[in-house]
Amino acid sequence: MMQQFADVASVQRWGACAFAEIADDVTQRAAARVLIRIGACEDIVAALVAHPLVANVQEAALDAAEKLLGAAVRR
């Protein structure tokens, strides 16, 4: 969804929030690692680059990045 609507800030924020929720859930760590393998981090970076002046996209994307990376290192 994030790739299809890269120019829509609300979709980018929604997608980043969804990634963050999955990665933050201790029962979903395996799912977070799958998201990383299929390109979630790249989607987050694309959202950051595409919407540099949209604060809520930046906040959601950075939160998602932090949580995904945290889920990747916790096993």
Delimit the domains of the chain by residue range.
9-73
Q: How far is CA 58 from the centre of its chain?
A: 10
Residue 32, number of CB atoms within 10 A of its CB: 23
Given a cut of 90, whether residue 74 has pLDDT beyond it is no
Q: How many Å apart are CA 36 and CA 47, to the nearest integer?
A: 15
Q: What is the pTM of this model?
A: 0.88
pLDDT attached to residue 58:
97
Categorize the per-residue pLDDT at 20 as very low, low, confident or very high, splitting at 50, 70 and 90.
very high
